């Protein structure tokens, strides 16, 4: 994938019960993303810049080593982690400490994902499904997206042995109930689909701060429809 770079750890949440269902995890944030989703809630991680201080691996490693008795695993998120050519090395370092690894990804780099899956380096993957798999996808992402890459990533996960989930941030004006049904249909038979409530307090496009999220009832209705296609559908953030 063009534009590969070295992983910069710029965020480090020591203990999280929210980033990996049923697991006590440490979350590592990597800098840099190839998408420009207007509703992104980590806008400071999109560009690779020295203005955001890098956290040395040694500091992270020390914490993980000292606490791997109560930690279940590490979530590697971003930004988009698969932009980093040394991501496999980072994952190996974490696993060498006796911890499981969950990857958060936008699915734009199926080649690296396939390598990680084949090498048995991943225990769980959460892939963002941004919109219907047509021209609308690039609109939601704020930049041109290779839909074949997204489709291949979906196929890789659905035919893999790892635990996985697809997840969609449900943003009014960008996604409607019919869109969610089309997306659920596309991943029909998937293990798990998560609908995430849109948060308007911190977004890449600040104009989205004026958009009210869907009501709890509206999102629950979308989830109910999605259950016609996906085995398990959950809602987060309401």
What's the pLDDT score for residue 2?
A: 44
Per-domain residue ranges of the chain: 9-236
- Average pLDDT, integer, range 208-232: 91
What's the pLDDT score for residue 169?
A: 93
Instruction: Give yes or no for residue 106 having a pLDDT over 70.
Output: yes
Instruction: Give yes or no for residue 39 having a pLDDT over 90.
Output: no
Cβ(82)–Cβ(113) below 8 Å: yes
- Average pLDDT, integer, range 179-186: 96
Q: Which residues of 5-19 are buried (b: 16+ CB within 10 A; e: fewer)?
A: eebbbbbeeeeeeeb
pLDDT digits (tens, 9 = 90+) for 44-94: 777 666 667 888 899 999 999 999 888 999 999 988 999 988 899 999 999
User: What percent of the chain shows pLDDT beyond 70?
Assistant: 94
Q: How far apart are CA 70 and CA 84, in angstroms?
A: 28
- Average pLDDT, integer, range 214-223: 94
Q: How far apart are CA 101 and CA 118, in angstroms?
A: 14
| Phi and psi angles of residue 7, each rounded to the nearest 5 degrees, phi first | -65, 125
For the entire predicted model, the pTM comes to 0.90
Q: How far apart are CA 55 and CA 3, in angstroms?
A: 22
- Average pLDDT, integer, range 157-164: 95
Instruction: Give yes or no for residue 205 having a pLDDT over 80.
Output: no
pLDDT digits (tens, 9 = 90+) for 2-13: 445 567 888 888
Give the chain's mean pLDDT: 89
Residue whose structure tokens are 């699915």: 107
Q: What contacts 122, CB < 8 A, 6 or more positions away? A: 91, 101, 102, 103, 116, 162
Q: How far apart are CA 167 and CA 190, in angstroms?
A: 11
- Please report which residue ranges of 20-86 form alpha helices under DSSP H: 57-67
| Secondary structure of residue 5 in the 3-state scheme | strand
Q: Identify the CATH assignment for 9-236 out of 3.20.20.70, 3.20.20.60, 3.40.640.10, 3.40.190.10.
A: 3.20.20.70
Tokens standing for 87?
A: 């991501």
Strands (E), 17-154: 25-30, 73-77, 100-105, 124-128
- Average pLDDT, integer, range 115-122: 96
């Amino acid at each position: 994938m063009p534009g590969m770079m070295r992983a910069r750890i710029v965020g480090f949440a020591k203990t999280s019960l929210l980033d990996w269902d049923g697991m006590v995890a440490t979350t590592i944030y990597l800098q840099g993303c190839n998408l420009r989703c207007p509703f992104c809630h980590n806008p400071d991680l999109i560009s690779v810049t020295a203005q955001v201080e890098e956290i040395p691996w040694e500091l992270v490693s020390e914490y993980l080593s000292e606490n791997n008795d109560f930690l279940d695993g590490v979530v590697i998120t971003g930004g988009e982690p698969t932009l980093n050519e040394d991501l496999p090395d980072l994952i190996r370092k974490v696993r060498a400490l006796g911890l499981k690894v969950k990857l958060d990804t936008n699915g734009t780099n199926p080649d690296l994902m396939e390598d990680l899956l084949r090498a048995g380096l991943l225990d769980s993957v959460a892939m963002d499904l941004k919109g219907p798999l047509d021209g609308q996808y690039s609109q939601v992402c704020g930049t041109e997206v290779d839909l074949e890459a997204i489709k291949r990533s979906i196929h890789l996960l659905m035919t893999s042995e790892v635990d996985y989930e697809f997840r969609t941030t449900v943003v009014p004006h960008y996604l409607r109930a019919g869109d969610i049904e089309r997306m659920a249909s596309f991943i029909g038979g998937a293990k798990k689909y998560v609908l995430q409530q849109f948060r308007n307090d911190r977004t890449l496009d600040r104009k989205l701060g004026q958009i009210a999220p869907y009501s709890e009832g509206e999102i629950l209705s979308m989830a109910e429809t999605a259950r016609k296609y996906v085995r398990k559908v959950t809602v987060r953030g309401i």
